[in-house]
Amino acid sequence: MRRKTAQYIREYKWSNIFAMIRNNRKDPELCVDDFKGKIVVITGATSGIGYITARKYASKGANLLAINRNEEKSEKLRREIESEFGVRCDYKIADLSNLKDIFRVSKELVELDAPIDLIIHNAGVYLTKRELTTDGFEKVLVVHYLSSFIMNYLLLDRLKSQKNARIIMVGSEGHRFAAWGLRLDDLNWQKRKYSGLKSYGSAKTAQLLSMIVFADKLKGSGVTINTMHPGAVKTDTGQENGPVYRWFKRNIFDKTLKSPEISAEALYYLGVSKELDGVTGKFFNLTTLEEPAPPALDREVACELWEETLKMTGLKEHKIKD
C-alpha cells in the first residue's frame, strides 16, 4: 500500500485539477439526433438524474426499461412516459443493494428478445454511516460498484453478439476522495474508520477501474463503455442519512447546485452522438474528456480488483467468452 501511495503522489498533476475546475463550469455538448425505436435500460429512473434522463430519451423516441426499487413510483413513471411521449416504458423491480436482485434482473436482461442499445448505470446512494447489506457488504460499494459490475459481466456475451451497444456508468469527480487508492484488503471498511466521502470515492474509483478491464474485454466488438461525472446537480441522494445531514443538504449544499437537466443532456449526448462512435474506456466531466485521478488509472490494481470482485460475488464460476 505504501508503494502505491508513493507512486500515486508522483503521478498526480496539478494541470488535471485545474482542468477539472474549468470543466465544472462548462455546459454539456448537445445532440439533436433522435433515438427512435431504440431500447434504453436505465437504473434509478424514478427521481433525480435518472428521471430527467428517462424523459429526455423518451422525448427522442426511445423505449425505456427502467430498473427501480419502488413499484408504485415505477408504475407512475410508466404511465407518465407512455401517455406523454407515446413510447414504451417497461420496468423491473430490483433492490440494487441486494445481490440476489441484481443477479435476477441481470439474467432477465440477458433473456430479453430485443437488442439493448444502451445501458445507463445511474442508481446511487450516499451514506454518512457504514451500513451493511443483507449479503454482508458495505452498501455504497454494492450500489455504485458491484451492481454495475455484475450486470455488465453477465451481459457481456449478449452485448458482444449484438455488435453495437453503449454502456454508460454515472461516476463522479468524487472518485478523487480516494486519493491514495483502493484498499483491496478492506473493501468492506472493517479495518478503518468509516467516512462517507472516502467510501463514496472508493466505490467510484472501483467503478472506473472496472471500466479498464471491461473496455479490454469489449475491444473490437462494437460495444463501448464509458463513465461520466454528471455535474454538480441537485438530487435526492442522501435522504437515508440523519436530520442534520438532510438539513445541511437542503439549506446549504442544494442552493449551490444546478438542475439535473444538464446531466440528462450529457447522458443523451454520450449515449447517442455519432462523435462517440468507437470511443471507449474514457471518463467525461459531463461531455468533456478528462483524466481521472491516478488510483483510478492503475491497471495492475484494476486486474486485482477484477479477480477479487469475481470471488466476492460468486461470478468466478460463471465463464464469459473473451
Enumerate the active-site residues. 200
Cα separation, 104 vs 235, whole angstroms: 28
Nearest to 181 by CA among 1, 308, 305: 1
SS3 66: strand
Joined grid coordinates for residue 117 = 442499445
Cα separation, 82 vs 10, whole angstroms: 53
Cα separation, 210 vs 205, whole angstroms: 9
Helices (H), the chain: 2-11, 14-23, 48-59, 71-85, 99-110, 139-141, 147-162, 196-218, 243-248, 261-272, 299-313
306, HSE (Cβ side, Cα atoms, 13 Å): 18
SS3 217: helix
Separation of first and last alpha carbons in the chain:
31
User: CB-based contacts of 167: which residues, under 8 Å, 6+ apart?
Assistant: 118, 119, 121, 152, 159, 214, 223, 224, 225, 226
SS3 101: helix
Joined grid coordinates for residue 165 = 451497444
Q: Any bridge partners for residue 252, and if so which?
A: none
CA distances 79 to 36, 55, 265, 285, 299, Å, are: 19, 12, 23, 32, 44
Torsion of CA 194, 195, 198, 204, to 10 degrees: 80
